[in-house]
A = this chain, B = another copy of it.
């Protein structure tokens, strides 16, 4: 909770609200402002004003916003200030003792199980200091550990006090094994059932019980109890996602979903993934960074009606009308009772995306739970024609920004002082010249030399490096445009690359082309295509340790399912309209990293004489691939012609969108090779 406000603040706020014609108690206004402070609101920080005073003039708007800025500043300051980490841990242990618990599990996830969490839910970071996107801490009375994956080995060392939290690798020493080793007999270990999926809770329970202990669901998260400066749950405007970008009305989506539930003999589906809710109801929000989500739950009924559980203060003016009669709105507090009301109904939940608490509540309430895929996941993944047109437009716009950036880097690096952060900032600035850009789709990965070999590198003041001659520079970036989400990686040579770099780059490129040119029968999954992206690397004993591709949303998550191109087996076939990344790479630890990423969409493929219904990919991303790194001698004629044709397309589409200097650079950058 944010601390008490001063009398002056309150009085000023009251008079400003009065000037704006807002009838709202000081208390309510303070609560709203706390929520605003808990939301990122990066590009349009004062957009929240529309929630209470739409149409006020600029001066009043600025006055109102000044209160939010003040609270936001305090909230941000509060995050990393007192108490010191050892005291936080002590306080937690005292609270656990008070609740008769011998331990507690602190995951990074929130109750929506999403990739990005709002500051309110960043409990793992507050407790341990760890700011990575995945991890879990286990706190026992005399011992605590933090479990992270290979991406965060270095980061955990710099962020977390290892005498407080022993760092452990998720894969080598998973929490279960550590618990088994360290848990005293008859210990009670608490967990917050809203922060774990059913599957994750089951794994934990097995481990705790194997160690002779008991896993206990807590009603109140003990961290929330001791975290004095915890930001409020976020309040960012939830706005309509208009037909010109959505392409299909929410009413039609609800009708189709209802019919699909009926067909499966289901009465309802509980949707706990906010991106599913956003897709279904054609709404977007700003509650977390990089994904335009309104954090919310929904229950979709086979009748086609939907119950939406969302803080009503978030709803932009007119959103009720946009949602229409088929959608009822209630606060998130009403969600558990609504689950009880599903007694005796057949209810679909997705075990991989739904909090254990939801499952337990449904079972306890007497619902017939049928686990299965989130019924929005597949239709959301298959973009309609309007969404695809939006994606193409977004990619042209994004490609122009990236091309300008690449030309700028080519001009800047000979001066010898271009650094990673400055580069990332410049790329963002080019993207943000468009009003369509609402956010980056993730924090830009701007890695030169050895930093490029860190797959999820996140540049900081401490790691910032100058782009140097003879090195590679890897930039993985994207933006959230109103009409589409982008994600693109280019790797460029600074100065003259080594023969090895060229060989490796070309093998990665061969893999990229193998995916880009693949034709495959209906029913083929991404995991079947994945090895094609690796074969040229495998030929010389190399590989890369990440998937070849992830699904991408339409002005939604930059990572979405249910499809992917990955070594991990998948039963979801690629289907027309799906957008997926094509991003093979190669990483030489301590030296350089290579990744070539375009987004592609699945299209029908007409072939004369074909006996099967065939599919193929259309490449959406448009930006030159560094010719200086290509070694034509190990490419086939058809690979070379793919590259040259791609560059013709990039040049043709981009030229009208670029300044003369960039066009001049682009002409050279896209010259035929081989």
Contact = CB atoms under 8 A, between A and B. Distances in A.
Interface in A419-442: none
A22 interface: no
Count copies of this chain in the complex.
2
Given A531-B529, A531-B532, A535-B532, A541 B636 contact: no
A610 B529 contact: no
Interface in A634-649: 636
Interface stretch (A180-188, A199-207, A519-527): A519-527
A530 interface: yes
Contacts of A541: 519, 605, 607, 609-612, 614
Contact of A612 (B518, B542, B607): B542
A54 interface: no
A567 interface: yes
A539 B521 CA distance: 10
A250 to B, nearest CB: 35
Chain A interface category by residue count? 20 to 34
A76 interface: no
A528 interface: yes
Nearest to A636: B636
B521 A535 contact: no
Contacts of A567: 528
Contacts of A321: none
A543 to B, nearest CB: 5
B540 A610 contact: yes
Contacts of A9: none
A530 B532 contact: no
A590 interface: no
A520 B533 CA distance: 12
A542 B611 contact: yes
A571 B542 CA distance: 21
B636 A540 contact: no
Interface in A499-541: 518-521, 524, 527-532, 535, 538-541
A424 B66 CA distance: 90
Contacts of A542: 610-612
Interface string A561-597: 0000001011100000000000000000000000000
Contact of A540 (B527, B529, B569, B607): B607
Interface string A599-634: 000000101011110100000000000000000000
A567 to B, nearest CB: 7
Nearest to A614: B541
Nearest to A588: B611
Given A527-B569, A528-B527, A569-B569, A518 B535 contact: yes
Contacts of A607: 540-541
B538 A614 contact: yes
A609 B542 CA distance: 9
Nearest to A519: B538
A623 to B, nearest CB: 27
A441 to B, nearest CB: 29
A116 to B, nearest CB: 31
Contacts of A530: 528
A33 to B, nearest CB: 52
A140 B529 CA distance: 46
Contact of A571 (B519, B543, B569): B569
Contact of A538 (B521, B538, B539): B521
A264 to B, nearest CB: 15
Contacts of A543: 521, 611-612
A521 B614 CA distance: 30
A536 to B, nearest CB: 10
Nearest to A530: B528
Contacts of A605: 541
A90 B290 CA distance: 71
Interface string A456-498: 0000000000000000000000000000000000000000000
Contacts of A519: 538-539, 541
A553 B528 CA distance: 27
Contacts of A571: 569
Contacts of A518: 535, 538
A532 B609 CA distance: 21
A594 to B, nearest CB: 14
A609 B569 contact: no
A508 to B, nearest CB: 14
A206 to B, nearest CB: 14
Interface string A384-410: 000000000000000000000000000
Contacts of A520: 531, 538
Most chain B beta carbons < 10 A, residue from A538, A539, A542: A538
Most chain B beta carbons < 10 A, residue from A519, A570, A611: A611
A612 B539 CA distance: 11
A535 B520 CA distance: 8
22 contacts: A518-B538, A519-B539, A519-B541, A520-B538, A521-B538, A521-B543, A524-B531, A527-B527, A527-B528, A527-B569, A528-B528, A528-B530, A528-B567, A531-B531, A538-B614, A540-B607, A540-B609, A540-B610, A541-B609, A543-B612, A569-B571, A636-B636
Interface of A: 518-521, 524, 527-532, 535, 538-543, 567, 569-571, 605, 607, 609-612, 614, 636
7 closest A-B pairs (Cβ-Cβ)? A541-B610, A541-B607, A569-B569, A528-B531, A541-B614, A519-B538, A521-B543
Given A528-B530, A531-B532, A541-B605, 16 more contacts: A519-B538, A519-B539, A520-B531, A520-B538, A521-B538, A524-B531, A528-B531, A540-B609, A541-B607, A541-B609, A541-B612, A541-B614, A542-B612, A543-B611, A543-B612, A569-B571
